[in-house]
Amino acid sequence: MRVCALLTWAVTATALGNGGLDMSSVVGEGSEMEVEPQATTLDDSGKVISVVFFHRHGDRSPATIMPSDSRNNAKWFDGPGMLSPRGMRQMETLGRKFRRRYLLGKPYRVLPSSNYHQGSYKVRSTDVDRTIQSALSFIKGFFPDGTGPTGGLSNVTQVVPVRTMPSALDSVLLAFEEYVCPRIIEIHSKVRQSDLWKEMEKEQAEFLKRLAQLSGYSKLSLEEIGKIADPLNCDKAHNYTWPDGFTEQDFDKAVKLLNWKYEQFIDSSNELRRLVGGNMIAQVIARFQRANNSTVTVPEIPTGDFPYLYDGTMQNDVRISHFSAHDTTLISLLSGLGLYDNRVPKYGSSIVFELVEKDETVFVRTFYNYGVQNVFTQTLDICGQKGKPLCELDTFVQFYSHTVIKDYAHACKKKGVSAHSTDMKTVFLIILVLLGCMLFLSKIVSRPSRHDAVDDELVNLKPGIQNL
């Protein structure tokens, strides 16, 4: 496996050096250069009962600014990591395309009408400005001016609530984050210690050193390659000049390394795939079963210590569930489905699950819209069925039930501490408490005069009062 992976990288590096880059594998966040998937002829017959979709936010400023970039934040709107005006337009465009497909009867009408219905459409975002703004921009296209209530806002604008939650509790859209799932810390540590990672880091040492010098960082590790690929890509998308010394070859190679890093950190083991993608698949299953009043047996949807998995958008009458998140969210979902293709999703990319009723049978159909152009042209081969876009709901549930983690809280606990070592820690803490009590009693026995004791107590109170 290691040899194959390195051989794949060697072939890629050779292609980069020869100018033979396959642009379809580039991050391309906002870039117009990428090759879109070829359109396929789809069977749109049947009736769509329910839709669940996850999208990446729109075009943004770089998450970090390289120290060598003398312009720093001056060239960017609102600072790093913020949705750009272009990103707002991208998401509004995406919303219009979804409106055409699901609200205007071209070809489906999932909601009772083309206007907003509070109980039928629910939106959830990560607790990040750019994803919340992306959701609002999408809504502007999904329910354009003129569709709102009469007597409300000017332009008859429709206002739609967007729910969010603290990032540390978001075990659905941010399950890949180490601070959400501590077990991932151990898995990532194991990845960094693997022969494959060490060999790649050694192989790319000179390149990383060059990037560090050009960017102004004192040192740059393989794990930090995004600090180079991201700002270069954002500059490229907005026609800004790169800091001195950077070349197209540097950019292409940095992007390839970033893709490789994501593969290792999100898609390198079955356990990792379940941890990062299982809760999203559970959301899809639960919502489709409710929409279809299904009685299919499936492992209990995980809650454990994460009650926020049910985030206020799981009512029975919801027909369209909308999640606004990140590239790593989509990668995690693709990984959970076993379909990650080693490409970082472009801005505005989306994964769409449709519950389709056809010939008295209910199916699931899944689209991967790579960017905001040519949407609904590329279906995913779910349920392990090559070339078959429709998978019966029962089959979908059974096929992916192994990905759903019943006790997510337990699965996310660190496993490096054994029960024996935990018992020893408990004994050690008890000993410390007993020693503390003995020390306290000894001080009481040896306490000086009453006057001195009161003075000491007053002095010892002062810091506490200041801390209040």
In one letter, which amino acid is 130? R
Return d(Cα 390, Cα 102) in angstroms, integer: 18
Tell whether the model's pLDDT for residue 350 goes beyond 60. yes
Domain 34-182+268-411 has CATH 3.40.50.1240: yes
Mean pLDDT value across residues 435-449? 57
The whole-number pLDDT of residue 442 equals: 60
pLDDT digits (tens, 9 = 90+) for 88-121: 999 999 999 999 999 999 999 999 899 998 889 9
Return d(Cα 369, Cα 352) in angstroms, integer: 8
pLDDT, greater one: 380 or 14: 380
Domain boundaries, the chain: 34-182+268-411, 426-467
Mean pLDDT value across residues 305-320? 60
pLDDT digits (tens, 9 = 90+) for 252-271: 999 999 999 999 999 889 99
Tell whether the model's pLDDT for residue 8 goes beyond 60. no
Tell whether the model's pLDDT for residue 447 goes beyond 60. no
Mean pLDDT value across residues 32-52? 64
pLDDT digits (tens, 9 = 90+) for 361-393: 999 999 999 999 989 999 999 999 988 899 999
- Which H or E run contains 453? helix 450-467
- Which H or E run contains 170? none
Q: Which two tokens stand for residue 103?
A: 């609200």
Q: Which two tokens stand for residue 363?
A: 């199916």
Tell whether the model's pLDDT for residue 299 goes beyond 60. no
pLDDT digits (tens, 9 = 90+) for 124-180: 999 999 999 999 999 999 999 999 999 999 999 999 999 999 999 999 999 999 999
Spatial CA neighbour of 121 closest among 132, 111, 131: 111
Mean pLDDT value across residues 48-52? 96
- What is residue 173's three-state secondary structure? coil
The whole-number pLDDT of residue 424 equals: 43
Mark out the alpha helices in 181-340 (DSSP H runs). Answer: 183-192, 195-203, 205-215, 226-237, 248-266, 270-292, 327-337
The whole-number pLDDT of residue 415 equals: 74
Return d(Cα 128, Cα 134) in angstroms, integer: 10
pLDDT digits (tens, 9 = 90+) for 270-298: 999 999 999 999 999 999 998 988 654 44
